[in-house]
């Protein structure tokens, strides 16, 4: 399950931030702000990932801006 969630996240990041694996200098712990994430792109990513903006999930994801953090939050949903 985590692999599928990770692939979804990476695909969304690639589409929105135009990044690839080589840009993740700290692997899945890389701070997404270092890759160009800002508030506008965050909203685009939430849309790309199908996250309901009215839920608590955007707040949870904004508290840990890394692929690893997002996997932990999205895995059980």
Domain count of the fold of the chain = 1
pLDDT tens for each residue of 10-24: 999 999 999 998 999
Q: Which domain holds residue 71?
A: 2-75
- CATH number of domain containing 65: 1.10.1200
| 3-state SS record for the chain | CHHHHHHHHHHHHHHHHCCCHHHCCCHHHCCHHHHCCCHHHHHHHHHHHCCCCCCCHHHHHHCCCCHHHHHHHHHCC
Q: Which residues contact 53 (CB under 8 A, 6 or more apart)?
A: 43, 46
pLDDT tens for each residue of 29-73: 999 999 999 999 999 999 999 999 999 999 999 999 999 999 999
26, pLDDT greater than 90: yes
Tokens found for residue 4: 């599928």
For residues 75 and 30, which has the higher predicted lDDT (pLDDT)? 30
């Amino acid at each position: 399950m985590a692999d599928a969630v990770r692939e979804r996240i990476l695909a969304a990041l690639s589409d929105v931030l135009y990044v690839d694996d080589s840009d993740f200098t700290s692997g899945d712990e890389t701070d997404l702000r270092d890759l160009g994430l800002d508030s506008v792109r965050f909203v685009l990513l939430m849309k790309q990932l199908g996250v309901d903006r009215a839920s608590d999930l955007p707040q949870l994801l904004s508290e840990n801006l890394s692929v690893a953090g997002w996997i932990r939050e999205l895995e059980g949903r």
